[in-house]
A and B are shown apart, each in its own frame.
Chain A
Amino acid sequence: MSEITVPSPPARRTAPAPTRGSVSAAARAFGLAALLLLPLAGDEYWIKSVALPTLIFGLAALGLNLVVGVAGQISMGQAAFMAVGAFIGAIAYGRYGLPLPFAILAAGFASAAIGIVIGLPSRSIRGLYLMVSTLAAQFIVLWLLQRVPWFGAASHGILSIPKLALGPVAFNTPHARYLLTLAVVVPLTLFAANLVRSRIGRAWIGIREREIAAEVLGVPAFRYKLMAFAAAGFYAGVAGALVTFAWTGAATVEEFRLELSVKLLGMIIIGGLGSVLGSYLGAAFIVLVPIAISIALHAAAGLLGWSAVNAGTLANAEHLVFGLLIIAFLIAEPKGLAPLLLRGLDAVRNIIRPSFRRAGAGPQGEKE
Chain B
Amino acid sequence: MSGDLVYGTELAITGLLIGVMYSMVALGFVLIFKASAVFNFAQGAMTLFGALTVVGLSPLVGLPLALAAALVAMAVLAVAVERWVLRPLIGRSALTVFMATVGVAYALEGLAQLIWGNQPRGLKLDIPQAPLQLGGVYVSPPDLIGAAIAGVCVMLLVLFFQRTKLGLGLRAMADDPIAAQAMGVRVGRMWAVAWMLAGAVAIVAGVLWGSRIGVHFGMTQITLKALPILIIGGVDSIPGAIVAGLLVGAGEALGEGFLGPFVGGGVQEIVAYLGALLILTFRHQGLLGEKTIDRI
Contacts and interface: CB of A to CB of B under 8 A. Distances in A.
Interface of A: 1, 3-4, 68, 74, 121, 124-129, 131-133, 135-136, 139-140, 143, 147, 210-212, 258, 262, 265-266, 269-270, 273, 312-313, 316-327, 330-331, 334
A330 B99 contact: yes
30 contacts: A121-B281, A124-B281, A127-B294, A128-B33, A128-B294, A129-B294, A131-B39, A133-B277, A135-B227, A136-B228, A140-B270, A140-B273, A143-B270, A147-B266, A211-B296, A262-B41, A273-B93, A273-B95, A312-B117, A313-B114, A318-B110, A320-B110, A320-B111, A320-B114, A321-B110, A326-B100, A327-B100, A327-B103, A327-B104, A327-B107
B118 A334 contact: no
Contacts of A312: 117-118
Contacts of B17: none
Given A129-B280, A133-B276, A323-B110, A262 B102 contact: yes
A139 B269 contact: yes
Nearest to A69: B95
Given A132-B231, A139-B270, A330-B103, 10 more contacts: A68-B95, A121-B277, A125-B284, A126-B294, A129-B231, A143-B270, A210-B296, A316-B113, A317-B110, A327-B103
Contact of A139 (B107, B117, B118, B273): B273
Nearest to B115: A316
B92 interface: yes
Nearest to B45: A323
Nearest to A126: B294
Interface in B56-108: 84-85, 88-89, 91-96, 98-100, 102-108
Nearest to B279: A129
Contacts of A133: 231, 276-277, 280
B230 interface: yes
A323 B103 contact: yes
A319 B104 contact: no
Contacts of A124: 280-281, 284
A132 B91 CA distance: 24
Contacts of B110: 316-323
B235 interface: yes
Contacts of A128: 33, 39, 230-231, 235, 294
A19 B113 CA distance: 47
Contact of B107 (A3, A129, A211, A323): A323
A323 B277 contact: no
Nearest to A146: B266
**Best-buried of B111, B230, B273, B296 by chain A (most CB within 10 Å):** B273
Contacts of B266: 143, 147
Given A121-B280, A136-B277, A258 B114 contact: no
B149 interface: no
Given A125-B284, A212-B296, A330-B96, A320 B106 contact: yes
B103 A265 contact: no
Contact of A326 (B88, B103, B284): B103
Nearest to A74: B95
A300 to B, nearest CB: 15
Contact of B276 (A1, A132, A212): A132
Nearest to B285: A129
Contacts of A324: 103, 107
B270 A323 contact: no
B284 A258 contact: no
Contact of A3 (B41, B91, B231): B91
A272 to B, nearest CB: 11
B139 interface: no
A323 B106 contact: yes
Contacts of A330: 89, 92, 96, 99-100, 103
Contact of A143 (B111, B269, B284): B269
Contacts of B10: none
Nearest to B42: A323
Contacts of A127: 94, 293-294
A314 to B, nearest CB: 10
A143 B273 CA distance: 12
A265 B101 CA distance: 13
Query: Which of A4, A128, A265 has the most chain B CB atoms closer than 10 A to its own CB?
Result: A128
A258 B231 CA distance: 18
B224 interface: yes
A126 B295 CA distance: 10
B259 to A, nearest CB: 15
A318 B33 CA distance: 29
Nearest to B106: A323
Nearest to A265: B99
Q: 10 shortest A-B CB distances, which residue pairs?
A: A319-B110, A323-B107, A323-B106, A320-B110, A326-B103, A136-B273, A327-B103, A316-B114, A331-B88, A269-B99
Contacts of B114: 313, 316-317, 320
A326 B224 contact: no
Nearest to A270: B99
Which of B84, B95, B111, B118 has the largest number of chain A CB atoms within 10 A?
B95
A302 B119 CA distance: 25
A257 B95 CA distance: 20
B93 A132 contact: no
Contact of B104 (A74, A121, A316, A323): A323
Given A74-B95, A269-B95, A323-B104, A258 B273 contact: no
A87 B280 CA distance: 30
Contacts of A125: 280, 284, 294
A269 B84 CA distance: 19
A158 B99 CA distance: 31
Contact of A331 (B89, B113, B284): B89
B274 to A, nearest CB: 8
Contacts of B39: 128, 131
Nearest to A328: B103
